[in-house]
A and B are shown apart, each in its own frame.
Chain A
Amino acid sequence: MDLRFTPEELAFRDEVRSFFRTEIPAEIRRKVSEGRGLSREDMVTSQRIMNARGWAVPHWPLEWGGKDWSAIQRYIFTEEMLLAAVPLPLQFNCYMVGPVIAAFGNQAQKEKHLARIANLDEWWCQGFSEPGAGSDLASLKTKAVREGYHYVVNGQKTWTTLGQHADWIFCLVRTDPAAKKQAGISFILIDMKTPGITLRPIITLEGRHEVNEVFFDNVKVPVENLVGEENRGWDYAKFLLANERTGIARIGLSKERIARIKRLAKEMPAGEGVIWDDRDFRERLAEVEIELKALEITQMRVVAAQGKREDGKPDPASSILKIKGSQLQQATTELLLEVAGPFALAAPVRQTDLSNDWPFDHDWAGPAAASYFNNRKVSIYGGSNEIQKNIIAKAVLGL
């Protein structure tokens, strides 16, 4: 048992650390750190710099641009990215549709899409949830009816993150209405420019446009856009969601935010001194830091065990990453809100970067409330924490 990195792993860490901190524009990293949100261009710029280095999709198969990194290297890479406040490559591209096409798509689909997905030449969004299919995703109703060389798609998707930027959407659609729930679902790729698609913004509570509803009205999708086999879409979706779990605890992100909270608490006046002088505050922060340290070790255990588990059973430690990780992300935004204090009240005028037109004493506090509000989502999306507990109870505890 040795919890330290090897000299080779440390050298790798230094290499990626230096890359992230010198090659990704400081302005983009500042926006991430301050919770100001990114433009489409920021995302594209950052991902293309990574892709030019060959690092946008290291977890993909080698022939499609992946790296033969160990699980530990992949872990180090993601953590360093988060610690440097570098935006993750677009999740829908790199962690969702890309791996699915690489694993289940046909050669034509791979050649058409994969390189463009890695370089963010195509922006993808996700069409899974529906108004009536949230936690119970398999009850989805959007249907695709085969007519000659096309599927005709009708229905509605929702919570489509950054769909306003998207060129393509990957959808779960019902292709066999007679089959039982999970059995009649297919995974198809739809060009967002196809006639019959309407996108309607949903403004989330902090005032920003992050998610959308997508309506499909007799949308004709060529049959070659079916991924894998018809009615096997649920299997591909499960594969995708397992991929999504990579780095889901976002330890590096919470660590970066804690470091920032400490810096701000040492500057923000309070009483005779600064917030940091308050013993209670430091203890509240310490509580979060301690749980985060425990979760970091838990994540390292999962990483070290990857590939070693032979029984195919889920690692009990991995199952807690999403729940605890989301709780700790939320806890850090609560602490940031506390440090901002009354200065979090002003709602910034510009939603694009949460900035103001007038000089503001504590300008950094502008996004604090927005970030707190927005982060309530992390215990809801990707399978709510309650659904996660159902899964653990069944799969790990056998209840």
Chain B
Amino acid sequence: MDFDLSPEQTQLKDGVDRLIAATYGSLDARQQLAREPLGFSETIWMRFAEMGLLGIPFSEEEGGFGGGPVETLVVMEALGKGLALEPYLATVVLGGGAVRLGGSAALKERVIPGVVEGEARLALAFTEAQSRYDLNDVATTARASGDGWVLDGAKCVVINGDGAGHLVISARTSGSRRDRDGISLFLVPADAPGVKIHGYATQDGGRAAEIALSGVAVTQADLIGKEGRGLPILERVAEFAIAALAAEAVGIMAALHGLTIEYLKTRQQFGGPIGQFQVLQHRAVDMLMALEQARSMAFYAAMMVDHADAAERSAALSAVKVQINRSCRLVGQEAVQLHGGIGMTMEYLGAHYFKRLTMIESLFGDTPHHLRRVGAAGGLAA
């Protein structure tokens, strides 16, 4: 039992912390980057590639660097602290995760080297108008046609869907809308005929897209995993996504808690710093407890995301998301409250942390969704 980073992990952390500090040193710098056409800087993205960040989860045979969940945790925590806008989650964890976990050797060879080098960006299109957080709820169809399929349907809130060269799309090759079987995953070029992408800004300063699919032709070579067996891959990707978001949330909460403590020490009212008041002190401690409990669960996620027993793993990651969501809510709301009026302004960094924490709650399952899953599993393994 050991919670220390290895020397290599420490080196990675120092490197990514330095990069984030240099590029996201101020809120102004970040907001400037957000106004780029794709909502992030392609220059910084290439710096990510040069540092090797984009190859972390891929094995050396796949063209990556063979990092594990702890390396991803280190990177995501740093990205959280900087409120980085680059599509790391969308490309490396989600789209890249689907290819890594489900793709054939040929498909990996086609996709992963480009991702690692920063040339290819991906997005995962799985949410639909009716699906909410249920990965198995897929109305988009993939109708067999000749050697391949034709996709029809619509995907919603595709994170960084307008900045990706390729989309990983879930579509139904058989069965009815909520069946677990019959879902297939396809890799589709964003500019394929019949794909219409409508990008927009998200509340947290990022980008997402609504994607319409109309008679989009795909081939056997574009299929990720086996036909009709896409759901287990999606579920694995979602587990990695929760682990990554947990680390990002911890990075944000630690930074936001730090800002709040600083404010309590400097803001003067009634002839002294407001941090002298016990009622505010106790709320700052409540924030600290929520942060530390979240940090523990981010570690737990890193430990459990490769756990062999699928049922235990699934319940564990749901438990992680419940705790992360709860902590995001408490730390975000309390930070705004303890800051008072300034916490309500667009010009204040803390407000942007709060907004991202709130959006994290709604990614890959909110609190009731995951509480239901843990309850249905009968709780956690001892």
Contacts and interface: CB of A to CB of B under 8 A. Distances in A.
Interface string B320-343: 001100000000000000000000
Contact of A3 (B9, B282, B300): B300
Contact of B376 (A1, A259, A282): A282
Contacts of A255: 382
Interface string B268-303: 000000011010111011101100111111011011
A289 B374 contact: yes
A1 B296 contact: no
Contact of A282 (B289, B303, B379): B379
B319 A293 contact: yes
Contacts of B294: 294
Contacts of A295: 293, 296
Contact of A262 (B9, B284, B302, B378): B378
Given A72-B1, A301-B3, A293 B276 contact: no
Interface in B144-173: none
A296 B316 CA distance: 13
A268 B278 CA distance: 45
A324 to B, nearest CB: 6
Nearest to A299: B296
B375 interface: yes
A291 B323 contact: yes
Nearest to A279: B375
Interface in A376-399: 386, 389-390, 392-393, 396-399
A54 interface: no
Contacts of A262: 378-379
Given A294-B300, A304-B3, A282 B293 contact: no
Interface string B341-376: 000000000000000000000000000000110111
Interface string A278-311: 0100110111011101111110110111000000
B282 A1 contact: no
Interface residues of B, number: 44
Contacts of B375: 279, 282-283, 285-286
B70 interface: yes
B374 A290 contact: yes
B380 interface: yes
A4 interface: yes
Contact of B319 (A290, A319, A398): A290
Interface in A241-261: 255, 258-259
A304 B1 contact: yes
B129 interface: no
B3 A305 contact: yes
Contacts of B198: none
A297 B300 contact: yes
Given A3-B300, A294-B293, A300 B1 contact: yes
Nearest to A295: B293
A372 B379 CA distance: 22
Nearest to B294: A294
A399 B267 CA distance: 12
A317 interface: yes
A23 interface: no
Contacts of B374: 283, 286, 289-290
Contacts of B12: none
B2 interface: yes
A12 B3 CA distance: 20
B314 to A, nearest CB: 13
Interface string B125-154: 000000000000000000000000000000
A316 interface: yes
A316 B265 CA distance: 18
Nearest to B379: A289
A298 B296 contact: yes
Best-surrounded residue of B1, B289, B294, B374 (most CB of chain A within 10 A): B1
B285 A389 contact: yes
Nearest to A71: B1
Contacts of B379: 258, 262, 282, 285-286, 289
Contacts of A390: 278, 281-282
7 contacts: A279-B372, A282-B379, A287-B371, A297-B297, A324-B289, A324-B293, A399-B276
Given A262-B378, A293-B300, 10 more contacts: A1-B3, A9-B1, A285-B379, A287-B371, A290-B319, A293-B323, A295-B293, A390-B281, A396-B288, A399-B264
User: 5 closest A-B pairs (Cβ-Cβ)?
Assistant: A297-B296, A393-B281, A282-B375, A286-B374, A283-B375
